[in-house]
Structure formats: C-alpha cells, structure tokens
Amino acid sequence: MYDDNQITAKPLWKLLHARAEAEMTPIFKINKTHLKMSSLEKQNVRRAAQLLSRTTAITLRRYHQDDDSKNLADYIEKIDMWFNVSNSYSPKAKLEFKKSYIGSSCQKQALDDMSHLMLHSKIIGKPGMQTFQKSILMQITSLKMLFEDMKLKHNIKYLSTYKLNQDVLENFFSQLRQKGGTHDHPSPLNCMYRIRMMILGKSPSILHNQTDAEQRKNIEPDAYITSKGSIEDEMDENYDVDNEEFIAASFLSEAEIIPIFPDIVEMQKVNGLLSEDDSEILSSVSSTALDLKEQERDGLEYIMGYLGRKFNSKFPDLELGGYSLKLEHGYCQPPSFVQHLSVGGLFKPSMNFLAEGNKMEKIFLKLNPNGELSKKPSIVKRLSNQIHKQIKHLPLEIIKAFAKQRVIVRMRYLNMKALIEHKDKTVVRKRTQPQVLKTANKLRKLTR
C-alpha cells in the first residue's frame, strides 16, 4: 500500500503477456523470469535494475491507461531515480540525476521522493516498516550528511556514489579470500599480508563495481595486445588500435604475394544466395501492407533509430533523422514511443527512413515466415542481397546492419520462448514428482 493505493504486479504481468506476443519490442530485456524467480535469483541486482527502470514505467503508461498501471509506473520511476542517484559514476553524465552527487535540486528531489515512498509504503500482511525500508532511509540520510561533511572539511565538488555501496566491499573481500587458495579464512596477520600483496600488485578490479554493467563498458582495459610492441605503443600516443593492419595482410604485402579470391557472384550462385525462389516470394512485397502490433511498431522504430544514429554522420545526405531536443520527461502521450522515452539522447528516425524500415521488415517476414528462421545457410547475406535488390538507393552497409540486427532479434525471441517453455516443464515435473514418489512408496508397502 502506498498513499491509499494498492501496488500490485498485475500490470507487469499484463505487459509481459503482451511482450511475449511481440517479437520487436522496446522492453526486449524483460521477460517472465524477471517476475517469477527463486529466492536466490531475487538477489540479482541486474534483473531488479532492468525491471524497476524508467523504460518499464514509461511502457506501462503508454500501453495501459488504467489507474493501477499509472500508480505502478509512478512507483517504479521514483525507485529508478533514487537508484541512479545512488549509483552515479561520472560528473559528466548527460542526465542530471545520473551525474555524480553534487546536491542539486533534481538529485535531492529524487532522494526525498524515495524517502516519502519508504515512509508511507506498507507491505500487506507485514506489521510495521521492514528492514529494507529502514536501510534505504539510512542510506539516503547518510549520503546527504556525508556530502555536506566532505564538502565542509575537504571542499569536494562531487561524490561518485557507486563507490559507497556494498558491492565494492564484497568484491574486495572475495578477492581477499581467493588469494589464499583453499585457506579462505585468513588470520588477522595473514589478512594484512594479503592486502599488502593486492596493493603492491596489479588488482585494479577491486575498485570496479559490479552493479551497473553499462557503466563498466566505458572503463578502459589495462592493456591492448596488438601486432605492435608495447614500446611503440608508449611512444605513439595517437596510435589507433581499431585502424591497425591485419597481421596476415601485412605479411602478404611485404612478401609481394597477391592473394586470389573466388568470384563473389559465382560463390553466391553456388551457395544459393541468388536463387529464383526468393525473388518469386518477394514479387508481392511491394503490394502488401505491413500489419504490426503497437509494440512491434515501436520496436521497429527503436531499431531504425539505432541504425540512424550509427550511420547518420557517415551518410548525412540521406537525412536518416535527428536527436530529440527534449531534456525533461513529460507525462503527455506523444505519437512516437522514442519521443516519449527519450530525454534528449535517443535518435528519432525520419519518416522516409522509417518507411524504408517497413519495406525491409516486409522482406524479412516473407523470407522467414511463421515466426521461424530460414533453414538455408547464410541467412544474413541472403536477406541483405534481397533487400538490396528491392531498395537499391539505400547503402548496402545500412542494409547489412539491419539484416544482422533483425536476425539477432528473432534469435533472441526464439531463445526466450524456448527458455520459458523449459522452465515451465521443469516446474510441472517438480510438482508431479512428489506425488509419483508417494504412489511408489504405497505400492512397496502393499507388496511387502
């Protein structure tokens, strides 16, 4: 209960049922396993962050207009804002509530909203406040007091709050125990020696947090292994690893060997990439209308926005779209899901580019009908070639990227369905097994 409103998971179940029927969806990270978990799985921070996210809250508001969904969306959004403030990594983040804590009005408002939520939330069937509610209130109060104290004594400008949570400490102790091999319960003196070894040695991972996987992608690795030596890398600071020459190519050029590759067209004919059957199937593509569900339309727009952002600077003449200029989220219902979700960082595809995406989606559905993938080899190559025949003015690089992304989306969808079916069968087997054992025991007693 929160402010005389009952908060339940029913809107989330409705959302997941609709998500299970949609192959392309903006909430592709969420499935049934996020709501149906064992006691051990409930401790998974990543799943909780994916489920209780701002994207989930906005999706609830967009696809369900009832009061229960709206109340749950507001509840989830307050939790997400508090989580972002409490796990900030950099003072240069694009969004205000994701920047390192500086005591701004936006960050304080997010913490105050979470305090109000914890103080006025009551678990049905439980007396009084629960331990997690008290812990969150303590964390919010301690964060504010710590920042003011550090600012007064040491004149700090910001506080990266991801260093304050328990994950860093747990990671440190796990590495501390691993240093002794089988002896994982060190004495105080042995513990001091292990800490000294970790400080003098190279163990940078103890300083990294495991909570937010997206932020860890931005952390640079310790070293790059390339065909150039480490001394050359240190001397050349502007050396670009991505543009490094392939070792095999450099060897061939130095030895003055000209490699002879087979004809691409002949290889495509041999592999069946230019078969006449596919062209006959695609003859009716332009005349048929694309009928997609609402979530699938939004998912296709999301994919085309990703491709537009990736190739916009390379092909500026195509006018693939642009970034939304809205920096704050409004609670009105705009026509585009990307506009509704974005706070300035998402790329909105243009109408022409989105129309090309609809054409490419038609071709994909014709070549891979009934929600399955074609059994023929080289699915991505065949799909790219057929799309390029129909849409010749679009660069082949964009077409290949769409084909690859679309095949990955279907593979993930099929894997998700297979995983859910496997878990359902496992649950049914566990339920029926005790009854079978009871029947077997009765038969043994009767035969004695």
Is the confidence at residue 342, as pLDDT, over 90? no
Q: Which range, of 208-212, 253-257, 319-323, averages the lowest pLDDT?
A: 208-212
What are the two backbone dihedrals, phi and then psi, of residue 321, each rounded to the nearest 5 degrees? 145, -160
**Same domain for 284 and 380?**
yes
Nearest to 305 by CA among 20, 4, 97, 24: 24
| Higher per-residue pLDDT: 103 or 250 | 103
For residues 182 and 293, what is the distance between their CA atoms, to the nearest angstrom? 56
| Higher per-residue pLDDT: 13 or 215 | 13
Residue 5 lies in a domain: no
**What does the mean pLDDT of the chain come to?**
77
Would you tell me how many other CB atoms lie within 10 Å of the CB of residue 60?
26
Residue 446 lies in a domain: no
pLDDT computed for residue 117 by the predictor? 92
**Same domain for 160 and 172?**
no
Full-prediction pTM beyond 0.75?
no
Work out the pLDDT band at 107, boundaries 50, 70, 90: very high
Which of 217-221, 271-275, 288-292, 424-428 has the highest mean predicted lDDT (pLDDT)? 424-428
**Same domain for 195 and 272?**
no
Which of 6-20, 165-179, 327-341 has the highest mean predicted lDDT (pLDDT)? 6-20
Residues 133-161: what's their mean pLDDT? 92
**Same domain for 231 and 252?**
yes
Is the confidence at residue 237, as pLDDT, over 50? no
- In single-letter form, the type of residue at position 402 comes to F
Work out the pLDDT band at 250, boundaries 50, 70, 90: low
Residues 129-140: what's their mean pLDDT? 91
Residues 121-141: what's their mean pLDDT? 89
Question: What does each C-alpha distance from 24 to 21, 305, 306 come to in angstroms?
Answer: 9, 13, 13
Q: Are 77 and 155 in contact (CB under 8 A)?
A: no
For residues 442 and 439, what is the distance between their CA atoms, to the nearest angstrom? 5
Residue 300 lies in a domain: yes
Residue 216 lies in a domain: no
Domain count, the chain: 4
Residue 442 lies in a domain: no
For residues 349 and 315, what is the distance between their CA atoms, to the nearest angstrom? 14
| Higher per-residue pLDDT: 112 or 35 | 112
| Higher per-residue pLDDT: 210 or 322 | 322
Coil/strand/helix, residue 2: strand
Coil/strand/helix, residue 218: coil
pLDDT computed for residue 441 by the predictor? 67
**Same domain for 309 and 251?**
no
Work out the pLDDT band at 239, boundaries 50, 70, 90: very low
Would you tell me how many other CB atoms lie within 10 Å of the CB of residue 346?
19
DSSP string, 380-420: HHHHHHHHHHH-TTS-HHHHHHHHHHHHHHHHHHHHHHHHH
**Same domain for 235 and 345?**
no
Helix (H) or strand (E) holding 136: helix 131-154
Work out the pLDDT band at 421, boundaries 50, 70, 90: confident
| Higher per-residue pLDDT: 284 or 320 | 320
Residues 252-280: what's their mean pLDDT? 53
pLDDT computed for residue 40 by the predictor? 81
Work out the pLDDT band at 420, boundaries 50, 70, 90: confident
Residues 167-187: what's their mean pLDDT? 80
**Same domain for 326 and 349?**
yes
Give residue-wise pLDDT tens across range 377-390.
888 999 999 999 88
Long-range contacts of 76-84 (CB under 8 A, 24+ apart): 76/52, 78/110, 78/113, 78/114, 78/117, 79/52, 79/114, 79/117, 80/52, 80/53, 80/54, 81/54, 81/110, 81/113, 81/114, 82/110, 82/111, 82/113, 82/114, 82/136, 82/140, 83/49, 83/52, 84/110
User: For 161, which DSSP code?
Assistant: G
Which of 101-110, 159-168, 169-178 has the highest mean predicted lDDT (pLDDT)? 101-110
Residues 19-45: what's their mean pLDDT? 81
Q: Which residues constitute the domain of residue 141?
A: 10-164
Coil/strand/helix, residue 35: coil
Q: Percent of the chain at pLDDT above 90?
A: 18
**Same domain for 273 and 353?**
yes
Residue 286 lies in a domain: yes
Residue 62 lies in a domain: yes
Work out the pLDDT band at 228, boundaries 50, 70, 90: very low
Work out the pLDDT band at 256, boundaries 50, 70, 90: low
| Higher per-residue pLDDT: 441 or 400 | 400
Q: Are strands 347-349 and 321-323 parallel, antiparallel or unpaired?
A: antiparallel
For residues 131 and 319, what is the distance between their CA atoms, to the nearest angstrom? 54
pLDDT computed for residue 311 by the predictor? 92
Q: Compute the 3-state secondary structure of the chain and give helix, strand, coil in percent, each to the nearest 5.
A: 60, 5, 35
Which of 215-229, 287-301, 329-343, 400-414 has the highest mean predicted lDDT (pLDDT)? 400-414
Q: Percent of the chain at pLDDT above 70?
A: 71
Q: Are 167 and 211 in contact (CB under 8 A)?
A: yes
Work out the pLDDT band at 287, boundaries 50, 70, 90: low
For residues 387 and 403, what is the distance between their CA atoms, to the nearest angstrom? 9
**Same domain for 271 and 160?**
no
pLDDT computed for residue 85 by the predictor? 92
pLDDT computed for residue 255 by the predictor? 56
Is the confidence at residue 227, as pLDDT, over 50? no
Residues 99-126: what's their mean pLDDT? 90
**Same domain for 238 and 316?**
no
**Same domain for 28 and 53?**
yes
Work out the pLDDT band at 79, boundaries 50, 70, 90: very high
Residue 441 lies in a domain: no
Long-range contacts of 392-398 (CB under 8 A, 24+ apart): 394/318, 394/356, 395/311, 395/315, 395/318, 397/311, 397/314, 398/307, 398/311, 398/315
**Same domain for 138 and 184?**
no
State the Cα torsion 40-69-341-337 to the nearest 10°: 120
Q: Are 58 and 72 in contact (CB under 8 A)?
A: no
Exposed, middle or buried by CB within 10 Å (0-12, 13-18, 19+), for 112?
middle
Residue found under tokens 């609402």 = 294
pLDDT computed for residue 65 by the predictor? 77
| Termini Cα distance of the chain | 57
Nearest to 414 by CA among 28, 17, 77, 72: 28
